[in-house]
Amino acid sequence: MNIAVVSGGPSAERNISLKSAQLVMDHLDREKYTPRLICLESHGWFDQESGVRIDLNDFTLRLPGKRHSFDLVFLMIHGAPAENGQIQGYFEHLGIPHSTCQTLSAALTFDKQKCKEFLAAHDVVMAKSRVLHRIDQAAKVHDLKLPLFVKPNKNGSSYGVTKVRDYSELPNAIAKSLKFDDEVIVEEFIDGIEVGAGVVSQGADLHAFPLTEIVPDGDFFDYEAKYEGKSQEITPARLSADLTSSCQQIAKALYRLLDCRGVVRFDFILKGDQFYLLEANTIPGMSPQSIVPQQALAYGWTIAQLLDVIIKDCLRS
């Protein structure tokens, strides 16, 4: 099978995308798959081996004497324009299978507040929050209890996130988040244990990986904690069997409710015996430092096996 591993993009998460794509390239079984690394740049999509531009009319690579088409796209672009569903729509229009959620599910989960509003109707427990569009709207969230998290509504990897302990800090925090998105979500802080729960489908079966407990060196799980080693990521998490099972069942239910595909990571805060959903990541990081590869290994899978399950399941859909 010819696999296009697509990475890059214009978002702040570009570097993480490149690292994730390289891990996929390194671990795809070459007896089953022939992968090519495709990078999305501002001036086009390019095959990294040849430097040749991809023909976006049909997503083919035209090399001297041969035209390469692809059986599946392994999508490793974090943030826009992939996690918001735009690229999925392009591949779905062309009839090329891809490794992630369909357009609607991707768009919904990428918009944190819209996703929360949808899930609230299904009794999913989450922190109180509100969306702002301008700095001068800060007073609209003064009814939310301090401390607060201020972050871009449609972004990932903890870019532009601030923990606010006084309402007077809101304008600067909102300005910081607006550098990454035109909407800012302000959310009440839940004091508890942060855990990540990875789920992947294999036909009718859902595999819930061992949970990862996240212990940041700083105040919260920011970019440096995620990608520069400034946190402890403990897999399996130091939770009881009952709490672990409860979180895994919630994650599976969310996977079905949001009509997910491929591997998805759900982030929670555990306070007492209650799990509060933070967000769903439909294209989670797959770099060597990322949580999902750690969980797959703890589950007893190799990275190659994880990739194989994702590919086969998305081809089956």
What is the phi/psi pair of residue 297, to 5°? Answer: -65, -40
* Per-residue model confidence as pLDDT tens for the chain (317 residues): 999 999 998 887 888 899 999 999 999 999 999 999 999 998 999 999 999 999 999 999 999 989 999 999 999 999 888 899 999 999 999 999 999 999 999 999 999 999 999 999 999 999 999 999 999 999 999 999 999 999 999 876 568 899 999 999 999 999 999 998 999 999 999 999 999 999 999 999 999 999 999 998 766 545 554 545 567 999 999 999 999 999 999 999 999 999 999 999 999 999 999 999 999 999 999 998 899 999 999 999 999 999 999 999 999 86
Report which of 22, 16, 41 is spatially closest to residue 283, judged by C-alpha positions.
16
**Could you give the domains of the chain?**
2-99 (3.40.50.20), 107-125+192-316 (3.30.470.20), 129-188 (3.30.1490.20)
Q: Which residues of 286-316 are buried (b: 16+ CB within 10 A; e: fewer)?
A: bbebbbbbbbbbebebebbebbbbbbebbee
What is the phi/psi pair of residue 195, to 5°? Answer: -135, 150
Provide the whole-model pTM. 0.91
Does 81 sit behind a cis peptide bond, omega within 30 degrees of 0 on the bond before it? yes
**Tokens linked to 6:** 């697509």
Q: How far is CA 181 from CA 10, 80, 126, 133, 280, in A?
A: 13, 10, 22, 9, 18
Distance CA 225, CA 51 (A): 34
* pLDDT for the residue 126: 97
- Element of type H or E holding 257: helix 241-257
Contact call for residues 157 and 142 (beta carbons, < 8 A): no
What's the number of CA atoms in the CB half-sphere (13 Å) around residue 258?
37
